[in-house]
Amino acid sequence: ELAVLDVDHKAVLVFDIKGKFVAKSELPKTLKLRSQNHIAGLGYTNDLFFVYHEPEGEFGTFYGFKVFSAAK
């Protein structure tokens, strides 16, 4: 699976190994995405998408979001 961050719509799009769309989940509209998110501020595993939120705390923090499958 490949998870892609759609910055314009604040959403996570997931595609299977064949490139077929399988899931989409919206991120909170208040979440501020910055350039650091595209370098080392993303992660995806076990249907969870992690986004780095820089302004929170002294060193920032990661938020995890459940990605829901379109097939379910």
**Mind listing the pLDDT tens digit of every residue in the chain (72 residues)?**
888 888 888 888 889 999 999 888 888 888 877 765 666 678 888 888 888 877 666 777 888 888 876 554
Domain ranges of the chain: 2-66
**Nearest Cα to Cα of residue 44 among 7, 3, 8, 6:** 3
Instruction: With beta carbons less than 8 A apart as the criterion, state whether 41 and 52 touch.
Output: yes
Q: Nearest 5°: phi and psi at 38?
A: -80, -15
